[in-house]
Amino acid sequence: MKLAFQGELGAFSHLAAIKFFPKSEIKPCQTFEECFGLATENSEYKIIIPMENSLAGRVADIHYLIPKYKLQIYAEYFHPIIHNLLGLKGTRLEDIKTVRSHSQAIGQCQNIIQKNNLKPIISADTAGSAKYISEKKDKTESAIASSLASEIYDLQIIAKHVEDDSKNVTRFLVMGKEVHHPELRNKKYITSCIFRVKSIPAALYKCLGGFATNNVNLCKLESFSAKNTFEQVNFFIDIEGHIEDFKVQKSLEELGFHTESLDILGVYEADKFRFNK
């Protein structure tokens, strides 16, 4: 499998990719848009994209790119985020003056930053920060990144597990161009959709009524502006169940009746993380 992700080698998306698909051919991309464009133009490539984080919420740009490219979701993967403080070989914690990383990583590691009076520097991504430290060769500078980044850029892990909250998990989606739904079996499934309601009173209430009457659970409902306006919104939903399940089909039929647009983004097995919390 050819698998692309956003960020430098050693990014958490890279780590998630090799954990989920150990034998895949990895391709880093500079931006999320580059990832989506690559999968759209070349069906050989799948992409692994962070959708949301348990602490920081949804990942910026993804909700704009999903309706634009309408790639299919093939799988979900919940990956624990373990932050490490990295520096040059031989660096001690007391030598460090600054720490560089992505804004979310900085925000999730405030305890060690404040305790050691480190000056935070916001960077584009965690792995890029590690790469910078490796090239800069200044022992007063450090980065917050993955253990994989420390291996790739030959850095020392000065402190492990520096995140403030150990229950830090990111949900990744594996996406691609071709439509493929797994056969309905005795397993747990997620069906993901994106829809836009008609601009009438109680439209959303009517859209969701079918799920209630058919006893179908929604495990995610999220809204975001449509076409960068405040006049209408798109809704992203994750449905517990397979699209071939009769109850899910009836719910989607009723949903379609009350929407301006409705796109099925994928049907895939639910990650076991959902049931092992």
Rounded to whole angstroms, how far apart are CA atoms 146 and 121?
17
Q: Supply the pTM of this predicted model.
A: 0.91
The residues annotated with a catalytic role in the active site are 170, 172
Rounded to whole angstroms, how far apart are CA atoms 238 and 76?
11
| Domains present along the chain, CATH in parentheses | 2-80+168-176 (3.40.190.10), 84-159 (3.40.190.10), 189-275 (3.30.70.260)
**Antiparallel, parallel or unpaired: β 119-123 and 98-102:** parallel
List the chain pLDDT tens, one digit each, 277 residues: 899 999 999 999 999 999 989 989 999 999 999 999 999 999 999 999 999 998 888 887 898 899 899 999 999 999 999 999 999 999 999 999 999 999 889 999 999 999 999 999 999 889 999 999 999 999 999 999 999 999 999 999 999 999 999 889 999 999 999 999 999 999 999 999 999 987 788 889 999 999 999 999 999 999 888 766 667 788 999 999 999 999 999 999 999 998 999 999 999 999 999 987 5
The contacts found for 221-230 with CB under 8 angstroms, 24 or more apart, are: 222/58, 222/63, 224/63, 224/64, 226/67, 226/196
What's the Rg (C-alpha) of the chain?
21
Which distant-in-sequence residues (6+ apart) come within 8 Å of 101 by Cβ? 109, 120, 121, 122, 123, 126, 129, 143, 144, 145
- Residue 25 structure tokens: 């051919």
